[in-house]
Amino acid sequence: MDLCESVFKYEERAVYELRSLYRRYGYLPYKMSKFEEYDLYVRNKDFLISDNIITFTDTDGKLMALKPDVTLSIIKNTGDTAGGVHKVCYDENVYRITKGAGGFRELMQVGLECIGDIDSYGIYEVLMLAAESLSRISEEYVLDISHLGILSEIIDASGVSESTKGELLKKIGEKNMHEIDALCNAEGCDPSAIKKLVSLYGAPSEVLPEIKGMLTGDSGDEFNEFESILMLLCKNGYKDNIRIDFSVVNDMNYYNGVVFKGFVRGIASGVLSGGQYDKLMQKMGRSACAIGFAVYMDMLERFNTGADEYDVDAMLLYDDGCDINALSDAVKLFSAGGKSVMVQKVIPDKIKYKQLLKINERGVEILENNE
């Protein structure tokens, strides 16, 4: 295939790069239908980022939905294999309401899911691929990693009631120390351990020893696994880009264990989000474990905007009396050299070109050079 680089928009190129990255680690492409039975989403509404869904009635009277999410469909359609792991990757459009759009939008999402017998290596591999994905988008990236098992041990130890937990998690997500204080004090609980955990932010080598000192209960095994995975990531060259941050929280009804969020410099919100979701699997009647993440490609749209300064490489002007044989030869010459050329009689408004050329009896003359 003959493709010139400039035809790719930044986010389109990123899609191909990520897809080939996942393929290299044995993740098989997963293609799904745009539609899914609405029922699937109703049962797991809280798992979705936004619970507004586009629905329609199929010819057989079934209520269908334009999929707002990919993970649920993948879980539904992959069977269990004893001891094995399904590794799939996807690039799919999803349909949901986003802040500021004032309605539904079609959003491109690229990601991967691992379903099956997930062990330390499985978690490591997914985290490593998340970090790699971010590095393909920008050199300046940060992968924030948290562990819900450790967080929930600290929350449980504080004695906060079940009904306050949801509100408390929200405050933890905002790093909102003063309101964590207020919530705990209202119930007569001690907020200091929660506040300390949430205020820890930094490289694993700095933060892990501090967490270790805080744990007394039964999350010891989870901590050891978490530690060994993070140290392996550090050893393999990601130490400057991964940060422990317990303010990364996902709904504890669906997620457990490791959860993470990725950021790149210059994009105001997270571009990657993922985690272990064994609890969602259980809710869907499955015994297997699962972990995965998604990259939100729509966030990349405004990234790297300076790239296309010119609309075309060359603007080629001709007159009425021009020989069309000579014209077509000139155009052929340009495109063979991999350059883009626009043929016009008069220069259209607001088109930026590197070179302005004119064809006449003597051949092609350069009138203007903007490079």
Partner 1 sequence: MNNPDNMLNIALPKGRLGEKVLAMFEKAGFECPAIHETGRKLIFENPEKGVRYFWVKPSDVSIYVERGAADIGVAGKDILLEYRPDVYELLDLGIGVCRMAVAAKKDFRDDTARTLRVATKFSNITKNYYASMGREIDIIHLNGSIEIAPILGLSDVIVDIVETGTTLKENNLEVVETVVPISARLIANKSSFKFKNSIIEAVSAGIAQQLARTEENK
Residues forming contacts to partner 1 in the complex (CB under 8 A) are 99, 140, 142, 144, 174-179, 201, 243, 247, 263-265, 267-270
Q: How far is the CB of 221 from partner 1 (least distance, A)?
A: 30
Closest among 306, 329, 305, 302 to 318, alpha carbons compared: 329
C-alpha to C-alpha distance for 284 and 115, rounded to whole angstroms:
13
Strands 363-369 and 35-37 turn out to be unpaired
CA distances from 205 to 66, 229, 235, 267, 362 (A): 44, 12, 11, 27, 71
CB closer to partner 1, 144 vs 153: 144
CB-nearer residue toward partner 1: 25 or 201: 201
Task: Name residue 242's amino acid.
Answer: I
CB of 118 to partner 1, least distance (A): 27
Maximum distance among all Cα pairs of the chain, rounded to whole angstroms? 92
State the nearest-atom distance from the C-beta of 237 to partner 1, in Å.
Answer: 19
For partner 1, give the closer residue by CB, 139 or 156: 139
* Cβ-proximal residues to 176 (8 Å cutoff; 6+ apart), any chain: none
Which residue, 146 or 247, is less far from partner 1 as judged by CB?
247
Give the tokens for residue 190. 């001690």
CB 224 to partner 1: min, Å:
27
Strand stretches in the chain, DSSP E? 28-29, 35-37, 55-57, 63-66, 85-97, 104-116, 141-147, 201-202, 242-245, 256-264, 272-276, 289-296, 312-317, 341-344, 353-360, 363-369
Minimum gap (Å) between residue 260 Cβ and partner 1: 13
Instruction: Between 156 and 174, name the residue whose CB sits nearer to partner 1.
Output: 174
Residue placing its CB nearer to partner 1 in the complex, 138 or 360: 138
- Nearest approach in angstroms of CB 171 to partner 1 is 8
